[in-house]
Each structure stands twice: as structure tokens, then as C-alpha cells.
Amino acid sequence: MVSCIMLAAGEGHRFGHKRKQFEIVNGKTVLQHAMELYDGWIDEMIVVTPPAVVVPLHWSEQFSYVVSGCEGGPTRFHSIGCGLEKLHLQSDITLIADAVRANTPPRIIGELIRAIRDEGYQCAVPAIPPANMVVVVDQYGQLGPCTLPTSKTNLRRLESPMSYDTSVLRAAHYKARIRGLEYGWGMIFYIQRFQLGQIKAIEGDPANFKITYPLDLCLFKEIKSPHQGI
């Protein structure tokens, strides 16, 4: 059974304190556009929303999978925990997705699921090389006198969604919680820290962008325009 925890509880601090997941684009919210991407791939979706925001019941009728909702927590880590509590007990694979990454190519979703189901990985993540020079700075934002650009050959910029063996995901979240490591990191880093399994990096896609700033929303509107598209 394939599940998806759709994280939609963000407050939009970098978007002028507006909840960008509920912005309307071409007659639907950004969240609905993101949910559409998973139709035919998953069996259930838990939509994690801000307090007092309820997922409309009629949304379940739009998709082939079962939709349920829950209230998120103060951080990404806590919101993932809220979603885990709602997962079906027979869930084998769990995708953790962002409501504001609403242009994910189907290839990525398929490869993420196959990495867990068919290839034996415990986690898989889309990754793309950085487009620009990468350097290391100190806590004051300064480059040291001998700082050289870091080679981009083996560096990757991670995207979401990420896929997990559900039992490993539960174990990682539990271990982090009981140790007080409740940070805003992706769960992939806890799997690394606790050495809970192998992680596969699949080829990401620049089109799989996250709507973080108003300019990103403008691009998404352009893509979804019935007269345009990329």
C-alpha cells in the first residue's frame, strides 16, 4: 500500500505571510494542483493543514485514492508526525510531499516508488546538481582568505517528494523524537544519522520547483495557463 503525507501546514513567512498553498491558480488551489499529481500512484493521502483549516470532504471524490486530513504542528518534523499517526496500518511505502511543489513530473513519482518497492532502498530522493558556484562561509557570512569554490561534481540539491519504507520512516521519527532531535530537517537526515538504511538519489528536474516566493507563483500561473504551459 502506497501512502502520501502532503504537508500543507506552512504559514508562508517568505511569501508575505500568506498561505501560498491556498492561492488560486486556474480555478484551483495550489494544494489541489499538487494533489492531482499523485492520482493513480497512491492509495491514500493524508493532508496536513494549518490549525482550523479543514480539507473539504468533496475533494475525496476527485481522486482515485482516499483523502483524509489532520492538523499540523509547529515544525515540519511535528507535522510529519501528525501525518504518520493517520497512516493506514498496512502502508508499505510513504511519500512525503510539499503542497507548494505542484509541478512534479510523473517520472519522479514513479521512480521514487520503484526505488522502495522494487529495488530494496529504504529511502529515495530527487536530486539535481547546483546551477551555480558553491562556497562555504563562516557564521558571519564571510569567506576565509583561502576559501575555494567547492566542486559541483558530487554535490546535489535535494527536492521533494521523498519516498520511504514506512516502517523505517516510523522508526526514524520515533528515534529523533525520544532523543529531542525535533528539527525542521527532512526525514532523510534522520535515516542517515541513525543508519537505518540505504538512500537512493534519483535524477530530479528543474521543473519540480517549490513555490517559495511570489515570483515562483507567477511562474506556476504561467505554466498552468490554458494558453501557455511549459
Whether residue 24 contacts residue 115, with contact meaning beta carbons closer than 8 Å, is answered with no
Residue ranges of domains in the chain, CATH in brackets: 2-224 (3.90.550.10)
Instruction: Measure the CA angle with vertex 188, ends 182 and 191; round to 5°.
Output: 80
Q: Cell 493506514 sits at which residue?
A: 88
**pLDDT per residue as tens, the chain (230 positions):** 999 999 998 765 555 567 889 999 999 999 999 999 999 999 999 999 988 777 776 777 889 999 999 999 889 999 999 999 999 999 999 999 999 999 999 999 999 999 999 999 999 999 999 888 777 788 888 876 665 666 667 888 999 999 999 999 999 999 999 999 887 778 999 999 999 999 999 999 999 999 988 999 999 999 988 665 44
Q: Say which DSSP state 198 is in.
A: -
Q: SS3 letters for 36-56?
A: HCCCCCCCEEEEEECCCCCCC
> pTM for the full model?
0.89
Q: Cell 528543474 sits at which residue?
A: 206
Which residue type does 126 have? Answer: P
Distance from C-alpha of 165 to C-alpha of 91, rounded to nearest angstrom? 9
Distance from C-alpha of 72 to C-alpha of 85, rounded to nearest angstrom? 11
Closest-CA residue to 71 (of 44, 98, 96, 49): 49
